[in-house]
Amino acid sequence: MSVDLANDYAQQAIADALSQFCAERYTEEGRREGADFPRDLWRELGLLGVLALGTPEGEGGACEGVAALEALGAGLFPGPLAATFFATQVLPEAERARVSRGEWIVALGEPPLLPFAALADCHLAVVGDKLLRVEPSSVEALETLGGEPWGRVEFSGGHGLEATPRAWALHDLALAAYGAAAGLALVAVTAEHARSRVQFGKPIGDFQAVAHPLADARVRLDAAATLARVAAHAWDTDAPDLRAHAAAARLSAARAGLDAAHTCHQLFGALGITLEGPVFRFSRRLRQLASGAPGEAGARAALLAQRGLS
Amino acid sequence: MNPAFSPEEEAFRAEVRDFLADYRDLDAFFLQGHRWERVRAFFAALAERGWLSLGWPVEAGGGGKPLSFEFILWDEVAYARAARNPLASGIVAKTIARHGDASQRERWLPPIRRGEIHFSLAYSEPEAGSDLAGLRCRAQRRGDAYVVDGQKCWQSYAQDMDYLWTLVRTGEAGSRGRGLSLLIVDKHSPGVTVRPLPTLDGDQLNEVFFDGAVVPVEQRIGPENGAWALMGEALADERHIQFPPGRVRRDLEEVIDWTRARGLESDPRVRHTLSELAVRVAEVEASALRVVDAMLRGASGAVEAAANKVIHTVVCQEIARAALDFGGPDALVAGERVELLWRQSLWETIGGGTSEVMRGVVARQGLGLGGRG
């Protein structure tokens, strides 16, 4: 079979089911400023099998994971998704099952700041090139720009785990698939605005000053979304440079998502800077994804190594 | 979801790479004008393997291969820097195969397939660049021939080609796209003058003057005043092989080699920039894959190809600019590869449809945004 970037039947079924899940269950009430993390929905996600994708028990690999994450990204579904996929690759079997069933929340980060630290049942600290399972002695709860419940943690010691290239690759491609889809959803919302908002007697999307930046955003996000698919295929086939593929996808989605967010804030005019406007809930998530996730240095190193620069 | 080529396609890629080993020193992807006789021989060698007509319909004497094979061929040729894909076996031949009559197919397709004759596009004019439908070069019917008068501008490779694939106005002035026809003009016929327009990269474009040039009516391809639709189809035929990512992959490799040769590769700022460029090159490859994917599914690929053109050409420039930024004075020395890349990459966002035109396609067809204002 030659190139075919579309979802297959099963992947599309996953995407459709999760789009519906987001629309019906992750409602305005859950999205409001200051809402608690929807732990019940996270558990449901686990029961649906989404968090087990890429594990021996899961009914699908990274390609199915991408289909799922795109739907969750377009719906801005909250939670430590990439961290959870990572954890399923590094934890022992019994703990992996608790994570993939949505019973445990995972905190993965570079201490002292850990995302979801106050809620988490499993804390994974990236220290240099080491990965430690830690038990925090204290957690100071923090809010972040992205509206996520983070924490400043103190711990001593910790139990070493092996962070394999496959684990990082799954983490990075999950970030990419989610982020690219969130960005594309924001571009779609903004394009709708540009088609309907009339100024100077015509829709503002008729002006190249509006249309071209949005076109650029779309072009780059499409590329990032495709890179997530390339990375997922590399992961599923255990390609030798799978980490570099995922790194490219992650870094591409981060940059494309941020650039799109800034473009869309601008194109919405005053609506772009109000809390009730549609942009901020996307842009804060995209900003959070771009710099809140661990492992960027390793991702860049993998990309350079792929090109002979070690 | 499968972003990989099939084993058969990958085997073909390996075969192409083996073949290209003999042509790596040709280095005519840039500066083809300085190496035309060797490029002509290279095209003849491709023809001998049936690769100039790889994707033509079997009934037109072609290989009938899926478009993925053409993509792989020209991607590898671009990576090897051997040459750019020729127009004769692409736009010209595919249009003749589809719209030429039996005698035209018989006359033109075999020599094109054998790599014996070559064409330059003669579309743009001084007053009609991006807005091609406004062109003025006129062809008037006189018995069994057209008499062509007017000027074309910015023709690539016209100095070396045998024929000009010429878009002319045969309808009323102001008839826009409804009054255009396609003529094959023998470059050596009386009344045709080609003059060089030296370009920044050391190569040249050309301007072409027609002064009462006589073109037999049997050298009109497709209906009189019906060229616009043919041109649209011809563009669609070639979307998958325009701007192959191998060129950009090679640009980055050359810049990395150049960086390493000067001991810059351990500088943290250089490394960060190179990692960013590696991401950008991956985006270029993904964008090209999107074009192939769309066309294999039977879609037009118009939006994907416009997107690919924007991202590919911008990244060409980013790579060259980065090398000059961190290369210091060494990068400015005439004849250095990075200096050539900088000069040459400025061409890419203009030729083959400007970035502005391409963003317009994405905005209109991809995002439903109207207007050009």
Q: Nearest CB to A233: which of B4, B252, B371?
A: B4
- Tell me the pLDDT band of B130, cut-offs 50, 70 and 90: confident
Residues, chain B = 373
User: Is B253's CB within 8 Å of A303's CB?
Assistant: no
Same domain for B200 and B152:
yes
Angstrom distance (rounded) from CA A292 to CA A283? 13
In a domain, residue B92? The reply is no
* Chain A environment of B372 (Cβ under 8 Å): 208
Phi, psi torsion values for B128, nearest 5 degrees: -140, 90
What are the phi and psi torsion angles at B331 (to 5°)?
A: -75, -15
Q: Are residues B76 and B20 both part of a single domain?
A: yes
Q: What is the mean pLDDT of residues A16-45?
A: 92
* pLDDT tens, residue by residue, B138-156: 999 999 999 999 999 999 9
How far apart are the CA of A221 and the nearest CA of chain B, in angstroms? Answer: 9
Say whether the ipTM exceeds 0.95: yes
- Is B286's CB within 8 Å of A207's CB? no
Which chain A residues have a beta carbon less than 8 Å from that of B373? 202, 206-208
Query: Do the domain assignments include residue B358?
Result: yes
pLDDT of residue B236: 86
Q: What is the pLDDT of residue B372?
A: 56
Residues in chain B within 8 Å Cβ distance of A185: none
Q: What is the model's pLDDT at position A33? A: 78
| In-domain check, residue B96 | no
Residues B161 and B259 in one domain: no
Contact list in B for residue A63 (CB cut-off 8 A) is 1
Tell me how far apart the 2 most distant CA atoms of chain B are, in Å.
72
Q: Hey, how many other C-beta atoms are within 10 angstroms of the C-beta on B65?
A: 20
Q: Do A3 and B293 touch (CB under 8 A)?
A: yes
Q: Is A173 within 8 Å of chain B by CB?
A: no
* Structural domains of chain A in order of their starting residue, each with its CATH number: 165-306 (1.20.140.10)
- With contact defined as beta carbons under 8 Å apart, do A159 and A132 qualify? yes
The mean per-residue pLDDT over the stretch A12-34 comes to 92
Asked whether B148 and B139 are in contact (CB, 8 A), the reply is: yes
Question: Is the same domain home to B259 and B362?
Answer: yes
Q: Which amino acid is at A215?
A: A
Report d(CA B275, CA A303) in Å as an integer: 6
At what angle are helices B246-261 and B337-348 packed, to 10 degrees? 150
Q: Is residue B345 over pLDDT 90?
A: yes
Give me A253's structure tokens.
Answer: 């989605």
pLDDT band at B373 (very low <50, low <70, confident <90, very high): very low
The stretch A169-197 carries a mean pLDDT of: 98
pLDDT number for residue B371: 62
Q: In whole angstroms, what is the distance from residue B166 CA to residue B152 CA?
A: 9
Single residue among B65, B85, B105 that ends a domain in this structure: B85
Q: Which amino acid is at B46?
A: L
In a domain, B234, yes or no: no
Nearest CA in chain B to A212: B359
Residue A58 has, within 13 A of its CA and on its CB side, a CA count of 26
What is the number of structural domains in chain B?
3
**Which CATH number goes with the domain that contains B269?**
1.20.140.10
- Residue B155 belongs to some domain of the structure: yes
pLDDT at residue A99 greater than cutoff 60? yes
d(CA A159, CA A167): 17
Residue from B182, B225, B186, B216 nearest B96 by CA: B182
- Residues of the domain holding B189: 119-225
Percent of chain A with pLDDT over 70: 100
B244: three-class secondary structure by DSSP = coil
Q: What is the mean pLDDT of residues A230-246?
A: 97
3-class secondary-structure state, position B308 = helix
B370: pLDDT strictly greater than 90: no
How many CB pairs below 8 A link A and B? 175
Q: Please count the residues of chain A.
A: 310
Q: What is the pLDDT of residue A1?
A: 84
* Residue B9: CB atoms within 10 Å: 18
Residue A275 in this model has a pLDDT that exceeds 50: yes
Q: What would the two tokens of residue A56 be? A: 């021996």
Q: What is the 3-state secondary structure (H, E, C) of chain A?
A: CCCECCCCHHHHHHHHHHHHHHHHHCCHHHHCCCCCCCHHHHHHHHHCCHHHCCCCCCCCCHHHHHHHHHHHHHCCCCCCHHHHHHHHHHCCHHHHHHHHCCCCCEEEECCCEEECCCCCCEEEEEECCEEEEECCCEEEEEECCCCCEEEEEECCCCEEECCCHHHHHHHHHHHHHHHHHHHHHHHHHHHHHHHHCEECCEEHHHCHHHHHHHHHHHHHHHHHHHHHHHHHHHHHCCCCCHHHHHHHHHHHHHHHHHHHHHHHHHHCHHHHHCCCCCCHHHHHHHHHHHHHCCCHHHHHHHHHHHCCCC
| CB < 8 Å from B in window 230-249 of A | 230, 232-233, 237, 245, 248-249
CA gap B315, B349 in Å, rounded: 10
pLDDT at B25 over 90: no
A4 and B253: CB-CB below 8 Å?
Answer: no
Q: What is the model's pTM?
A: 0.96
Instruction: Please state the rounded mean pLDDT for residues A31-38.
Output: 85
* B113 is a domain residue: no
Q: Are residues B56 and B173 in the same domain?
A: no
Q: CA-to-CA distance for A6 and A265, rounded, in angstroms? A: 30
A285, A259, A290: which is closest to A144 by C-alpha?
A285
Alpha carbon distance, N-terminus to C-terminus of chain A: 35
Residue at A155: amino acid letter: F
In a domain, B150, yes or no: yes
> Do B289 and B1 form a contact (C-beta atoms < 8 A)?
no
Calpha distance B85→B44 (Å, rounded):
13
Q: Is residue B335 part of a domain?
A: yes
In this structure, the answer to whether residues B211 and B251 fall within a common structural domain is: no
On whether both B152 and B254 belong to a single domain, the answer is no
- Give me the amino acid identity at B5: F
Is residue A282 pLDDT above 90, yes or no? yes
Q: Which of B197, B225, B253 is the last residue of a domain?
A: B225
**Residue A178 dihedral angles phi and psi, to the nearest 5°:** -65, -50
Q: Are residues B219 and B250 in the same domain?
A: no
Question: What pLDDT score does A157 carry?
Answer: 87
pLDDT band per the 50, 70, 90 thresholds, residue A250: very high
Of B41, B61, B85, the residue that ends a domain is B85
Same domain, B255 and B164: no
Confidence (pLDDT) at B327? 87
Residues B22 and B66 in one domain: yes
**Domain identity same for B261 and B355:** yes
By the 8 A CB rule, do B273 and A301 touch? Answer: no
Same domain, B270 and B177: no
Residues 6+ apart with CB under 8 A from A83: A106, A107, A108, A109, A115, A116, A124, A171, A293
Closest residue in A to B68 (Cα–Cα): A2
CATH number at residue B201: 2.40.110.10
The amino acid at residue B129 is G
What is the percent of chain B where pLDDT is above 70?
Answer: 99
| A172-181, A231-240, A270-279, B302-311: least confidently modelled range | A270-279
